[in-house]
Homo-oligomer: A and B are copies of this chain.
Amino acid sequence: MGKNILIAHGGGPTAVINSSLRGAVEAARDAAAGGRIYAARFGAEGILAGDLIDLTDVPAETIARLDDTPASAIGSCRRKLTDADYPTVLRTLDKFDIGAFFYNGGNDSMDTCHKVDELAKTEGLDVRVMGIPKTMDNDLVLTDHCPGFGSAARFAAISAAELALDASGLPIHVVVAEYMGRNAGWVTAASAMAARLTRCEVLTYLPELKVDEDKMLSDIERAWARGRGLLVTVSEGLRGTDGKPLADTGIVDGFGHVIPGGTAQHISDIIMQKLNIKSRAEKPGLLGRAAMAYASSVDRAEAYAAGRYAVNAALRGESGYMVSIQAERTPEYASSMELVPLAEVANAEKTFPPEWIVDGCRVADGFFDYALPLMGGDMPQYAFLR
């Protein structure tokens, strides 16, 4: 096996992807196997260009600071590797004498991992390949949850509670807040926590269910009439009963792509136009994966553990696996790492259970039993005087 290791990030970052990087780097240092520790600059782009960052001698305090650094500290990209790219990938692995390759990403990255592993075996390249899971969307299969989700869920839960308190303390408008998730409602579901943390009315719409605008407006009118303020949380990927995105600006960019509109802004607009109720839209957007003050301590510890586990597994000779999180919730939350075959993870998708969507606009207790420990458990407590 080659002497050095290579770590790469794929796709969108999470609040804790750098903690997995820290875990991997520290495990490699602890093992003292003697090789170099490389990272690909901007993910697949860096691998293809042979543009690597040498982390071997980066001071320990800088590596420790990764826990407080959002986004990808080594850079990531959205480039999906094609069959034509793989020979170049193998060439980089060979050139830098890579003995273990770690790809930290979601579905696409696990597919890439799997292909690299297979191809390396076919070509007789002695490299071990491991996937480290990462996605705020929580849509990877064969793992209880994904590193990154707990922090995104904590952000959604607490920020929605804060917006709900604002909306009920100065009840002059319906507040509509948009959370990330084009196809998966896992993160937006966490925003429904606002109903438990405050005394405000909260309605939540997930992308798994097509939205009937008339029903939504009548839900909103009824909830607003209760006079306790109203927060409506929506996923950016909401679609109408016709299957089309609710919000469509009608704008086409220079590449001919239709520009999707703001879902929250659209709903806020129709609340004003059709219900004559004042409304305002908020879109924390990328802060949902970057706001470190809302990162979950449990999520961060697991992301770190996943990075360490991947390196240690590769060092003992494993290849072709993704690190998976096994979790128990009773009597109290505990998790451990395991390995699952990349072949079984690649390109599969874990969807939000439809039975956790209640009346189209609320989230069932079962979801919170599942998700609350991942958010770190410790939710804020507020003073209610009104």
Q: Which residues from 158 to 203 on chain A have a C-beta closer than 8 Å to any C-beta of chain B?
A: 158-159, 162-163, 165-172, 175
Q: Is the CB of B66 within 8 A of A383?
A: yes
Identical subunits present? 2
Interface bracket on A = 35 or more
Q: Is the CB of B382 within 8 A of A53?
A: no
Q: Is A286 an interface residue (CB 8 A)?
A: yes
Contact of A69 among B18, B165, B282 (CB under 8 A): B165
Contact of A251 among B269, B280, B284 (CB under 8 A): B269
Q: Is the CB of B281 within 8 A of A172?
A: no
Interface string of A54-70 (1 = CB under 8 A from B): 01001000110110111
CA distance A167 to B76 in the complex (A): 11
Contact of A172 among B77, B159, B170, B293 (CB under 8 A): B77
Q: Is the CB of B251 within 8 A of A385?
A: no
Q: Is the CB of A291 within 8 A of B159?
A: yes
Residues of chain B within 8 A (CB-CB) of A65 are 381-383
Q: Is A74 an interface residue (CB 8 A)?
A: yes
> Shortest Cβ distance from A59 into chain B, in angstroms?
10
Q: Which residues from 334 to 386 on chain A have a C-beta closer than 8 Å to any C-beta of chain B?
A: 380-386
Residues of chain B within 8 A (CB-CB) of A175 are 286
Residues of chain B within 8 A (CB-CB) of A58 are 385
Provided the pairs A76-B170, A291-B159 are in contact, do residues A269 and B284 lie with their beta carbons within 8 angstroms?
Answer: no
> Shortest Cβ distance from A198 into chain B, in angstroms?
9
Q: Is A301 an interface residue (CB 8 A)?
A: no
Q: Is the CB of B281 within 8 A of A283?
A: yes
Provided the pairs A282-B285, A283-B281 are in contact, do residues A166 and B290 lie with their beta carbons within 8 angstroms?
Answer: yes
Q: Is the CB of A72 within 8 A of B251?
A: no
Can you list 9 A-B contacts with CB-CB less than 8 angstroms, sorted by A residue number? A53-B385, A65-B381, A72-B170, A77-B172, A78-B170, A162-B292, A163-B287, A262-B283, A281-B285
